[in-house]
């Protein structure tokens, strides 16, 4: 008997014994290998941990089922799982009982085990009730690449594809073909920079037959400064960035230097571990630079309640709660916040451990500092020189009163015009440390025992000598952290494929969904850490994979993978709120490439600022600032820009690690009617008229600018008909074209080369239609 | 199977990226009953037979003084000027503890005169003669209790059941739970009046972790009622129709080419947007109402006001909107300038008294009161002790304050809870915010323990782990 058969025989005999023991038919027995983390932990977590889990305070009957010790421990002479008599364990008696008084889970809990779940639990216990540490707490180890058939090997571009292809084979799926060149370049441009290719770039990419052309395009995109704007915004979501205090007054705050720091750090590909350390404790690094201090703005993005009558301590503590929750979600994929009032119900984090984390954050001051730009420093230096000059001249002049007076005036004026530096919010080490207590039920008026800073026992150990915020930061960003790299690569994956390998991107704990491709996740995490924590390298790898390049077309008739769990195609993703605007601005030629600086005020409808306690003004920026990328739009927490909110931009009230993509009539109204979008449509109309002459050329150009492809005959026909009809109607109703042209003239979007008002008006309608198309606001 | 059917099949099996659209489809796609059944995110049919279908929530921003409106305390009047006994305030925390307005332990007798009204002999102050007249329609909750004593956090608590940001508001939970009946208006609408918007702004009607489709849509009292409702310059209704036809035609081609059902939803969205463009102005056009109705509310035509908003709330509910929330400010009666218990309090009661009562009467006249739950109340109440600023006022108070509800299965002419002799705390039947939430959901046919949404591995509820239905408030 060869080894394979032997194994089968071994398994079968085990199953037969089991089946007899449990008096269930062989046909029904599960012949699948039990994997605790895949098969058992999710059941226990969902059905049992609420009462028999890590939370000691609410644990019923002293029984805990999240550890093997707990489950097999004798309790009043009975062990839930009896190792000496497995199949007769009380656990199995209870879950199969029909007596409502002894049945588990109890009927009043509204929880119920399915037949399949009971069978799995029976098999698991019969096979020895082996536990396994939750996958996410185990250090990732780089797995070997799966072996593939030669046919599948042809599809492979890089390591990623090995793992994806192996799953395809297991599930009987075939990958989708590679996308056409136009789709590919639009997809990767939008994913990496948020800005679609120009018609020229598009054409040269399509006609470039060099096999390296795609990789070269990827390299070019990763070097674009717009890369930092695109990926910086993803991080700013998680950092709950906004430009105001929130709560009642929602006062303006200056923290945009932090936003710019993020964009620059990503553009410089600052290694992700340093990226984390600097944001948590950059101020405590030896000889901390201004940039490293600005980075600590990450945890200053909490809201501040300045309304009358507040207890400042209460809100200081609330902001620490927010910092812990955010750190947990963003850097660990763990819900630390659940342990604020009681031990965590599902994951092994106790309430005391929560307050040990609290202690790291408790000893920080929260100042505002000057953050002068290089330009300001330069200006100041020049002025300093001039001031010194004037001062020395004054000191030499003693008798010429007239000249002395004029020099003194000049000096005073000079000092007055010294350029002011912007300020930003940072963390600073507190000299007089605070004592941290556990708070009973998370209520800060009920302090219990004192606690010292420390990290949860379930995670990698903290070096003893560094129990301060910097030590904590280094602990978070340590290679031994089993979660940080996994969570980070999973989010990157999510941005490129629409969902993560772990779909619950902010919960890698026992209640989260297990990874669809655990080996791939670990391979990527290790690759990330071993390759200098370079986000650009991981992105390069991902977008160069065959997996990424697949088409996103859905074949409804033979779809074997309707939820695309196994990534047998790419995903069609509606663009993020900011990109909806950026892409339209770009198509129209209005987009300003200017980077950084204080938030700007693109137009928004009247009255949007009335919805908070104080009516604030929103006077639309003019000139270049009117057309900046939306990552630079000023973000009021209480009265957010409606065109961002309507497309699901996060509110900055708490960390957002995944945006929802809704699809609503309010979005349609925004894109069709918002004066800001009409301004863009007028500019696009002007561009079409100016840059192309015949109707079909203009339509073609419009397609290239908005959809990055050429129209087909049918599309050409539909729009040609529309232009003709609209031209005719606008010619007949001059009042409508006059009104439209008057408006366009007022905002400077009227073409020079034509005085045909009906023509301009008709093309504005075409431009508006193109900007509204689903394909324009979707990355396919 | 045609494309429409086959895309629907997949439409509802997609999980993460189609979530919002799935939610939307359940709001607008009423013909699609069988598909809804297979959609894990579709609004459930209520857990049991609902008493109410709609909610109109008059949110009194700033914290109205129950002691000058509803909770008559003769003992407080008698002991005016005396210190409140220590056992009431020991260990209690109040707003402005650290400010220059030192907490004052002197009791402040009711500033307003009270009279009894209705069959049940409910007490009302002279400031609200019209509300007094609907005594026999309402249940008064005299022992409401909340956890947070600053305005913005307390508003958040009243709306979301927690002071933690990122949780859905009640209106979002309810539209998530039972959907909306409107084909052409949002399911959850917010209106506001008074000198300023509510503190906390958008956080009060946010959808939190629920799909953004369920967030409240602010309706404006002047200009376009819904943002970007009006056609842009040079576009008349026909041109808008022609443009949408072309957009949808091109989108349909893309749908055929890609098979992505999301495009289906986008086409439906453009159709609904077009319908909204005519239904929303029609909604706002209160000139259709009779003079008697306008007079009942005290609507001053063309001027945005609380009265206008109350009338609009009735019109919204009539047209299928599920949850309407009306914010009115400012009730913050500390005693300082603009917040006296005399002149300023009189003004805000004048602003709301007539219209609050009119809404009940009007709903009743339209036969709508029995399935519309009306709620009236603020984020907290005021202390029995005085706060001496420029004049005598009252501080924020969270231990006991008054709210009332009517219609939608609420017992008429009914009082729940009793406060102590000073109106400081409950001596009988405390009604915590969680209990109020549980009761509101119950009236809508929703079990507050079953209306859950899974986020970060946990099933969240509006009532978190608390809440009891207040049985003696309901029919």
B319 — contact with chain A (CB < 8 Å)? no
Which helix (H) or strand (E) segment holds residue A406: the answer is helix A401-416
Strands (DSSP E) contained in A362-433 are 364-365, 368-370, 423-425, 428-429
pLDDT at A429 over 80: yes
**Cα–Cα distance for residue pair A483/B450, rounded to 1 Å:** 33
Give residue B244's Cα distance to chain centre: 34
Do A251 and A282 belong to one domain? yes
**Cα–Cα distance for residue pair B326/A254, rounded to 1 Å:** 33
Residue A57 C-alpha, separation from nearest chain B C-alpha, in angstroms: 15
A305/B152 touch (CB, cutoff 8 Å), yes or no:
yes
Q: Give the domain-ending residue among A132, A149, A171.
A: A132
The confidence score (pLDDT) of residue A411 equals 84
Mean pLDDT over residues A23-52, rounded? 74
Is A164 among the domain residues?
no
B251 — contact with chain A (CB < 8 Å)? yes
Q: Which two tokens stand for residue A750?
A: 């009227």
3-state secondary structure of A202: helix
Distance between terminal CA atoms of chain B? 49
pLDDT at A245 over 50: yes
Residue entry with tokens 């009007």:
B362
Residue A737's pLDDT band, with cuts at 50, 70 and 90, is: very high
Which helix (H) or strand (E) segment holds residue B188: the answer is strand B188-193
- Per-window interface: B 277-306 vs A, CB < 8 A: 277
Do A341 and A292 belong to one domain? yes
B247 — contact with chain A (CB < 8 Å)? yes
Do A350 and A401 belong to one domain? no
pLDDT at A512 over 70: yes
Q: Which residues of B touch A612 (CB under 8 A)?
A: 196-201
**Cα–Cα distance for residue pair B140/B70, rounded to 1 Å:** 8
- Per-window interface: B 172-231 vs A, CB < 8 A: 186, 192, 196-203, 206, 211-213, 217-218, 220, 222-224, 226-231
Mean pLDDT over residues A622-647, rounded? 94
Is A598 among the domain residues?
no
Question: For residue B388, how many other CB atoms are within 10 A of its CB?
Answer: 15
Residue B24 C-alpha, separation from nearest chain A C-alpha, in angstroms: 7
B259 — contact with chain A (CB < 8 Å)? yes
Judge contact between B43 and B178, C-beta under 8 A.
Answer: yes
Judge contact between B299 and B288, C-beta under 8 A.
Answer: no
Residue A197 has φ and ψ, to the nearest 5°, of: -70, 155
**Cα–Cα distance for residue pair A509/A333, rounded to 1 Å:** 7
**Cα–Cα distance for residue pair A135/A477, rounded to 1 Å:** 19
Instruction: Choose from B202, B205, B255, B380 for mutation: most chain A CBs within 10 A.
Output: B202
Is A8 among the domain residues?
no
The confidence score (pLDDT) of residue B265 equals 85
Do A291 and A315 belong to one domain? yes
Residues lower than pLDDT 50 in chain B: 1-43, 100-101
pLDDT at A15 over 80: no
Q: Mention every residue, 6+ apart, whose C-beta is less than 8 A from residue A27.
A: none
B198/A613 touch (CB, cutoff 8 Å), yes or no:
yes
Handedness of CA A763, A768, A769, A770 (dihedral sign): positive
Give residue B338's Cα distance to chain centre: 25
The confidence score (pLDDT) of residue A383 equals 86
The confidence score (pLDDT) of residue B441 equals 97
Residue A197 C-alpha, separation from nearest chain B C-alpha, in angstroms: 21
Judge contact between A377 and A454, C-beta under 8 A.
Answer: no
Q: Which two tokens stand for residue A299?
A: 């945890």
Q: What is the pLDDT of residues A675-689, one digit of tens each?
A: 999 999 999 999 999
The confidence score (pLDDT) of residue B397 equals 95
Q: What is the pLDDT of residues B111-158, one digit of tens each?
A: 999 999 999 899 999 999 999 999 999 999 999 999 998 898 999 999
Point out the residue among A498, A613, A668 whose CB comes nearest to the CB of B270. Answer: A668
Q: Mention every residue, 6+ apart, whose C-beta is less than 8 A from residue A471.
A: A462, A463, A465
3-state secondary structure of B316: helix
Q: Give the domain-ending residue among A481, A509, A534.
A: A534
Q: Which long-range contacts (CB under 8 A, 24 or more apart) does B438-442 make?
A: B438/B463, B438/B467, B438/B468, B438/B469, B438/B470, B439/B469, B439/B470, B439/B473, B439/B474, B440/B55, B440/B170, B440/B174, B440/B373, B440/B375, B440/B405, B441/B173, B441/B174, B441/B177, B442/B469, B442/B474
Mean pLDDT over residues A717-745, rounded? 95
| Average model confidence (pLDDT) across chain A | 91
Is A10 among the domain residues?
no
Point out the residue among A556, A612, A662 whose CB comes nearest to the CB of B21. Answer: A662
Q: Burial, A181: exposed, middle or buried (Cβ in 10 Å; 0-12, 13-18, 19+)?
A: middle
The confidence score (pLDDT) of residue B390 equals 77
- Give one word for A748, left, alpha or beta, with left for phi > 0 and alpha for psi -120 to 50: left
A612/B263 touch (CB, cutoff 8 Å), yes or no:
no
Do A439 and A333 belong to one domain? yes
Q: Burial, B290: exposed, middle or buried (Cβ in 10 Å; 0-12, 13-18, 19+)?
A: exposed
Q: Give the domain-ending residue among A421, A455, A485.
A: A421
Q: Which residues of A touch B220 (CB under 8 A)?
A: 607
Number of domains comprising chain A? 5
Mean pLDDT over residues A74-93, rounded? 87
Q: Distances in Å between the alpha carbon of B57 and those of B54, B144, B191, B199?
A: 10, 16, 10, 17
| Closest-CA residue of chain B to A344 | B458
Is pLDDT larger for residue B211 or for residue A516? Answer: A516
Do A323 and A381 belong to one domain? no
Is A607 among the domain residues?
no
pLDDT at A753 over 80: no
Residue A339 C-alpha, separation from nearest chain B C-alpha, in angstroms: 13
Do A328 and A303 belong to one domain? yes
Is A97 among the domain residues?
yes
**Cα–Cα distance for residue pair A768/A763, rounded to 1 Å:** 8
Q: Distances in Å between the alpha carbon of A454 and those of A299, A357, A507, B358?
A: 19, 6, 22, 60
Is A192 among the domain residues?
yes
Is A103 among the domain residues?
yes
| Closest-CA residue of chain B to A110 | B450
Q: Which residues of A touch B163 (CB under 8 A)?
A: 318
Q: Mention every residue, 6+ apart, whose C-beta is less than 8 A from residue A411.
A: A387, A390, A391, A394
pLDDT at A160 over 60: yes
**Cα–Cα distance for residue pair A166/A584, rounded to 1 Å:** 40
pLDDT at A28 over 60: no
| Closest-CA residue of chain B to A640 | B202
Is pLDDT larger for residue A184 or for residue A609? Answer: A184
**Where in the sequence is the domain holding A259, given as residue range(s)?**
240-367+430-534
Q: Which of A146-155, A297-306, A412-421, A636-645 has the lowest mean pLDDT?
A: A412-421
Residue A7's pLDDT band, with cuts at 50, 70 and 90, is: low
Residue B388 has φ and ψ, to the nearest 5°, of: -95, 105
- Per-window interface: B 436-465 vs A, CB < 8 A: 449-450, 456-458
Question: For residue B366, how many other CB atoms are within 10 A of its CB?
Answer: 13
Do A110 and A125 belong to one domain? yes
Do A408 and A452 belong to one domain? no
Q: Which of A109-113, A367-371, A640-644 has the lowest mean pLDDT?
A: A109-113
A247/B199 touch (CB, cutoff 8 Å), yes or no:
yes
Instruction: Choose from A613, A750, A773, A776 for mutation: most chain B CBs within 10 A.
Output: A613
**Cα–Cα distance for residue pair A722/A716, rounded to 1 Å:** 10
Instruction: Choose from A301, A306, A309 for mutation: most chain B CBs within 10 A.
Output: A309
A666/B227 touch (CB, cutoff 8 Å), yes or no:
yes
Handedness of CA A623, A626, A631, A633 (dihedral sign): positive
pLDDT at A37 over 90: no
Residue B458 C-alpha, separation from nearest chain A C-alpha, in angstroms: 7
Point out the residue among A110, A503, A638 whose CB comes nearest to the CB of B202. Answer: A638
Residue A21's pLDDT band, with cuts at 50, 70 and 90, is: very low
Q: Burial, A772: exposed, middle or buried (Cβ in 10 Å; 0-12, 13-18, 19+)?
A: buried
pLDDT at A693 over 50: yes
The confidence score (pLDDT) of residue B15 equals 25
Instruction: Choose from B1, B3, B16, B215 for mutation: most chain A CBs within 10 A.
Output: B16
The confidence score (pLDDT) of residue A191 equals 98
Give residue B459's Cα distance to chain centre: 24
Do A208 and A299 belong to one domain? no
B249 — contact with chain A (CB < 8 Å)? yes
The confidence score (pLDDT) of residue B13 equals 28
**Cα–Cα distance for residue pair B445/A112, rounded to 1 Å:** 23
Do A378 and A359 belong to one domain? no
Residue closest to B47 by CA, chosen among B444, B462, B438: B444
- DSSP result, B191-249: EEESSSPPTTGGGGG--TTS-GGGS-EE--SSS-SSTT-SPPTT--HHHHHHHHHHHHH
**Cα–Cα distance for residue pair A713/B346, rounded to 1 Å:** 70
Do A509 and A445 belong to one domain? yes
């Amino acid at each position: 008997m060869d080894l394979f058969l032997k194994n089968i025989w071994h398994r079968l005999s085990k199953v037969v014994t089991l089946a007899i023991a449990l008096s269930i038919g062989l046909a029904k027995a599960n012949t699948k290998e039990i994997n605790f983390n895949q098969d058992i932990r999710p059941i226990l977590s969902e059905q049992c941990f609420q009462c028999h889990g890590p939370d000691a305070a609410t644990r019923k009957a002293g029984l805990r089922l999240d550890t093997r010790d707990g489950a097999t421990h004798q309790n009043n002479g009975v062990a839930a799982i009896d190792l000496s008599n497995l199949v007769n364990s009380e656990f199995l008696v209870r879950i199969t009982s029909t007596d409502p008084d002894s049945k588990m889970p109890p009927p009043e809990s509204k929880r119920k085990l399915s037949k399949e779940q009971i069978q799995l639990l029976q098999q698991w216990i019969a096979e020895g009730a082996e536990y396994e540490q939750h996958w996410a707490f185990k250090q990732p180890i780089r797995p070997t690449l799966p072996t593939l058939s030669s046919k599948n090997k042809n599809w492979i571009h890089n390591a990623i594809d090995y793992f994806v292809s192996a799953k395809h084979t297991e599930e009987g799926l075939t990958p989708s073909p590679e996308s056409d060149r136009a789709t590919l370049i639009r997809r990767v441009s939008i994913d990496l920079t948020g800005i679609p290719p120009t018609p020229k770039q598009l054409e040269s990419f399509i006609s470039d037959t060099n096999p390296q052309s795609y990789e070269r395009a990827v390299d070019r995109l990763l070097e674009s400064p717009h890369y930092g704007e695109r990926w910086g915004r993803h991080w700013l979501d998680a950092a709950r960035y906004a430009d105001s205090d929130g709560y009642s007054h929602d006062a303006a705050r200056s923290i945009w230097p932090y936003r710019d720091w993020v964009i620059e750090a990503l553009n410089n590909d600052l290694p992700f571990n340093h990226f984390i350390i600097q944001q948590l404790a950059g101020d405590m690094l030896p000889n901390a630079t201004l940039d490293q201090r600005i980075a600590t703005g990450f945890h200053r993005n909490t809201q501040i309640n300045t309304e009358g009558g507040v207890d400042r301590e209460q809100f200081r503590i609330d902001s620490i709660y927010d910092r812990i929750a955010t750190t947990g979600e963003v850097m660990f994929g763990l819900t630390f916040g659940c342990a604020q009032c009681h031990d965590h119900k599902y994951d092994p984090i106790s309430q005391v451990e929560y307050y040990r984390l609290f202690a790291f954050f408790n000893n920080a001051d929260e100042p505002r500092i000057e953050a002068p730009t290089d330009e300001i420093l330069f200006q100041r230096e020049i002025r300093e020189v001039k001031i010194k000059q004037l001062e020395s001249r004054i000191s030499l002049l003693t008798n010429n009163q007239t000249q002395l007076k004029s020099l003194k005036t000049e000096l005073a004026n000079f000092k007055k015009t010294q350029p002011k530096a912007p300020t930003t919010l940072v963390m600073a080490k507190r000299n007089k440390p605070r004592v941290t207590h556990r708070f009973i039920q998370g209520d800060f008026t009920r302090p219990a025992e004192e606690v010292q800073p420390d990290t949860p026992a379930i995670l990698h150990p903290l070096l003893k000598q560094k129990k301060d915020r910097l030590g904590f930061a280094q602990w978070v960003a340590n290679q031994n952290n089993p979660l940080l790299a996994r969570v980070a690569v999973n989010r990157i994956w999510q941005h490129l494929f629409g969902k993560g390998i772990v779909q619950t991107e902010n919960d890698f704990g026992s209640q989260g969904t297990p990874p669809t491709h655990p080996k791939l996740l670990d391979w990527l995490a290790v690759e990330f850490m071993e390759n200098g924590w370079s986000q650009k390298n991981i992105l390069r790898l991902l977008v160069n994979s065959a997996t990424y390049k697949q088409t996103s077309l859905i074949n409804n008739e033979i779809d074997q993978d309707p939820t695309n769990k196994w990534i047998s195609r790419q995903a069609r993703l509606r663009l993020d709120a900011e990109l909806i605007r950026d892409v339209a601005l770009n198509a129209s030629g209005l987009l300003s490439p200017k980077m950084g600086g204080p938030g700007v005020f693109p137009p928004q409808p009247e009255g949007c600022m009335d919805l908070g306690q104080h009516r604030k003004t929103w006077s639309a920026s003019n000139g270049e600032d009117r057309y900046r990328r939306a990552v630079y739009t000023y973000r009021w927490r209480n009265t957010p820009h409606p065109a961002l909110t309507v497309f699901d931009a996060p509110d900055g009230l708490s960390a957002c690690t995944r945006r929802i993509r809704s699809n609503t009539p309010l979005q349609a109204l925004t894109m069709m009617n918002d004066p800001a979008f009409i301004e863009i449509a007028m500019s696009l109309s002007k561009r079409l008229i100016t840059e192309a002459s015949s109707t079909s050329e203009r339509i073609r150009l419009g397609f290239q600018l908005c959809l990055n492809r050429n129209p087909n005959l049918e599309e050409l026909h539909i729009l040609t008909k529309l232009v003709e009809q609209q031209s005719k109607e606008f010619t007949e109703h001059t009042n409508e074209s006059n009104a439209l042209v008057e408006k366009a003239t007022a905002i400077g979007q009227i073409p020079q080369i034509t005085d045909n008002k009906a023509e301009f008006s008709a093309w504005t309608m075409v431009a508006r239609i193109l900007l509204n198309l689903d394909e324009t606001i979707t990355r396919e | 199977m045609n494309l429409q059917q086959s895309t629907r099949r997949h439409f509802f099996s997609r999980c993460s990226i189609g979530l919002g659209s799935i939610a939307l489809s359940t709001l607008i796609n009423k013909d699609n009953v069988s598909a809804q059944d297979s959609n894990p995110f579709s609004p459930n049919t209520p857990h049991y037979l609902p008493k109410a279908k709609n909610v109109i929530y008059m949110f009194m921003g700033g914290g109205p003084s129950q002691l000058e409106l509803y909770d008559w305390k003769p003992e407080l009047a008698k002991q005016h000027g005396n210190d409140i006994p220590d056992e009431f305030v020991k260990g209690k925390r109040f707003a402005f503890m650290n400010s220059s307005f030192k907490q004052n332990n002197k009791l402040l007798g009711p500033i307003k005169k009270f009279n009894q009204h209705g069959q049940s002999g409910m007490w009302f102050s002279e400031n609200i003669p019209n509300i007094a007249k609907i005594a026999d329609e309402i249940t008064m909750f005299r022992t409401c209790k909340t956890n947070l004593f600053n305005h913005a956090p307390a508003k958040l608590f009243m709306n979301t059941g927690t002071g933690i940001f990122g949780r859905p508001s009640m209106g979002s939970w309810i539209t998530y739970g039972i959907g909306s009946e409107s084909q052409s208006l949002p399911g959850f609408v917010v209106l506001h009046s008074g000198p300023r918007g509510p503190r906390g702004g958008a956080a009060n009607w946010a959808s939190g972790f629920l799909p953004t489709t369920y967030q409240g849509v602010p309706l404006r009292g002047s200009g376009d009622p819904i943002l970007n409702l009006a056609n842009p310059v040079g576009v008349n209704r026909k041109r808008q129709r022609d443009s949408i036809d072309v957009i949808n035609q091109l989108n349909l081609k893309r749908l055929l080419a890609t098979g992505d059902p999301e495009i289906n939803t986008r086409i439906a969205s453009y159709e609904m947007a077009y319908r909204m463009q005519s239904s929303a102005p029609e909604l706002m056009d209160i000139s259709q109402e009779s003079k008697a109705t306008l007079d009942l509310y005290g609507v001053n035509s063309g001027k945005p006001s609380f009265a206008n908003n109350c009338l609009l709330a009735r019109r919204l509910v009539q047209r299928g909107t599920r949850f309407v929330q009306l914010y009115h400010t400012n009730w913050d009666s500390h005693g300082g300038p603009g917040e006296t218990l005399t002149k300023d309090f009189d003004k805000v009661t004048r602003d709301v008294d007539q219209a609050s009562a009119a809404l009940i009467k009007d709903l009743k006249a339209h036969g709508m009161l029995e399935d519309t739950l009306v709620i009236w109340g603020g984020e907290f109440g005021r202390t029995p002790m005085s706060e001496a600023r420029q004049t005598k006022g009252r501080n924020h108070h969270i231990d006991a304050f008054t709210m009332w509800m009517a219609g939608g299965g609420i017992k008429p002419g009914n009082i729940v809870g009793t406060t102590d002799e000073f109106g400081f705390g409950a001596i009988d039947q405390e009604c915590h915010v969680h209990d109020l939430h549980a009761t509101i959901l119950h009236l809508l046919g929703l079990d507050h323990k079953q209306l859950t949404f899974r986020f970060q591995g946990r099933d969240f509820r509006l009532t978190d782990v608390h809440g009891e239905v207040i049985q003696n408030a309901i029919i």
